[in-house]
Chains A and B, each alone.
Chain A
């Protein structure tokens, strides 16, 4: 019998995501895919999966899972969240063996908006238009095009047990300060006067709590348009920052529409999309303009990080020094023993 991962409980916004649904934007099909591609890839890498394999994207709604029929190797990467196995706290970037009868709990913590759970083997989910990525607005991908819910059972093909003891993942590249986000200006920066471009870059902007997989809304001093706020609809890239009539920028994320009719003052570079996605409501951010070459270099550096396996170390619950040092990067509440 095929092993399975059971969703015991799930808050809103927990979805299955692979690399995204590519090739159908010209027909109005959104790519979807992970909000934080680097973190998603890190979780997959940690269990030896292809970097773009299907994994569970965990929102601040939190999730509780258990294994059915056979033990499963699990990688969980959720900086800022609280993670526990049968009530014992775990690091927030960890590989573990989930035996049937045990319960893995992930809850929102002090920071972070998205975490990822990958399983050694693969979630046996049928792709739609070439991808398992869930896009709930159009009902595509994942389980029947919807978010996961308590009672769902995800079959795992080629599942295998992990090492007996949980191991901490050493992934310092996930310690990203969301404060300054790099952008390439355009494609419609000419719809704004120079002083408004300067105001956009200086900010500061505050991330609105009403963001979701579609968009990150920013609060601050409204920008003024030089040539009105309507353009003839054109394509929208992930990370495009559109400025609608009210002057408050909206960063369009994984579940964005494929085209739109507001001027886009700038585009967040690929390497910084995940950092922005992780920002919680109320967090201040600023933008820094970079060249296309600089953005490509950042993207290349991000790709190269995951060429090597993700290093692991035993979870040492008594070592203050180790926890303290790692706490600077990733760790939240590792040793307090509470769920």
Chain B
């Protein structure tokens, strides 16, 4: 993989955060390098490294500059980035139940209008794809997913729609996402999952990591309700598969 040989750019975000930038596009090969560095630093974190925030194309490292100086961190990053080129993403696959029917798939009809697809075709396309968790951001547990089929690539709304319910399954701008916390959104709500990607009182509060793969499994409204009840009782309804 020749991309592995290019040096990342190191950009300061003040004196307590360093951005390790591998590129400036949404690209699985770039994201692989972000996640590989994230994993390597996580396996043996230098003292003073406080947080690692993987995004599509960069890894933000928050550090305590009174414990870890910038030069030491930068050297460590350069060494790891040059030697850690193996793909680490995609070793864990999750299946999440997803109900596309009313009342959950609030905006499916609008997506049908914009794409010219039938609702069944939208569901088949969305549930037929395998997604990669590129990153979390925007809100607690908001998971940005790559892998949306091109036929579902609708632009985001010019202005936000009213707040969506919890655990909405959304698409927009060529990407997919699971939106955990109700908020106004520029995305289209095409369904909901009873699985809670984020539950602050649960241990762990998050179970899906950046780099994991996701598939959606269509369920009807009655099944959704039954699964939601199980999830609420503390029995996770997302299923995990090792794809290694």
Contact = CB atoms under 8 A, between A and B. Distances in A.
Interface of A: 22-30, 128-129, 138-140, 183-184, 186-188, 231-237, 239-240, 257-260, 264, 267-270, 292, 295-296, 299-300, 303
Interface in B12-68: 12-17, 19, 21, 24-26, 50-58, 60, 62, 65-66
B135 A140 contact: no
B137 A259 contact: yes
A234 B16 contact: no
A237 B15 CA distance: 10
Contacts of A299: 15-16, 65-66
Kindly name the residue among B17, B69, B205 whose own CB sees the greatest number of chain A CB atoms within 10 A: B17
A14 B57 CA distance: 37
B140 interface: yes
Contact of A184 (B14, B66, B198, B200): B14
A184 B54 CA distance: 22
3 tightest CB-CB pairs across the interface, nearest first?
A235-B60, A259-B137, A267-B14
A24 B21 CA distance: 21
Nearest to B180: A28
A235 B14 contact: no
Nearest to A271: B15
Kindly name the residue among B50, B54, B66, B200 whose own CB sees the greatest number of chain A CB atoms within 10 A: B200
A279 B65 CA distance: 26
A229 B128 CA distance: 34
B11 interface: yes
Nearest to B66: A300
B42 to A, nearest CB: 10
Contacts of A270: 14-16
Contacts of A292: 12, 15, 65, 70
Contacts of A258: 53, 136-138
Dominant SS at the B interface? loop
25 contacts: A25-B60, A27-B205, A28-B139, A28-B142, A28-B198, A128-B200, A184-B12, A187-B11, A187-B13, A188-B11, A232-B24, A232-B25, A232-B57, A235-B60, A237-B14, A237-B16, A237-B60, A240-B13, A240-B14, A259-B53, A259-B137, A267-B14, A292-B15, A295-B15, A303-B66
A270 B65 CA distance: 11
Contacts of A188: 11
Contacts of A129: 200, 205
Contacts of B51: 22-23, 25-26
A128 B140 CA distance: 13
Contacts of A27: 136, 140-141, 198, 205-206
Given A26-B136, A28-B139, A233 B55 contact: yes
Given A25-B51, A232-B26, A234-B58, A257 B13 contact: no
A268 B210 CA distance: 29
Nearest to B60: A235
B172 to A, nearest CB: 13
B119 interface: no
B56 A232 contact: yes
Contacts of A257: 137-139
Interface in B128-154: 135-142, 144
Interface of B: 11-17, 19, 21, 24-26, 50-58, 60, 62, 65-66, 69-70, 135-142, 144, 181, 198, 200-201, 205-206, 210
A188 B136 CA distance: 21
A139 B201 CA distance: 13
Nearest to A29: B140
A138 B136 CA distance: 15
B15 A259 contact: no
Given A233-B135, A237-B62, A25 B53 contact: yes
A186 B206 CA distance: 31
Contact of A235 (B24, B58, B144): B58
B200 A140 contact: yes
Given A233-B55, A235-B55, A296 B13 contact: no
A22 B16 CA distance: 14
A26 B14 contact: no
Nearest to B19: A187
Given A240-B14, A295-B65, A296-B65, 16 more contacts: A24-B205, A25-B53, A26-B210, A27-B205, A28-B136, A186-B12, A187-B11, A232-B25, A233-B137, A236-B13, A237-B16, A237-B17, A237-B60, A268-B14, A296-B70, A299-B66
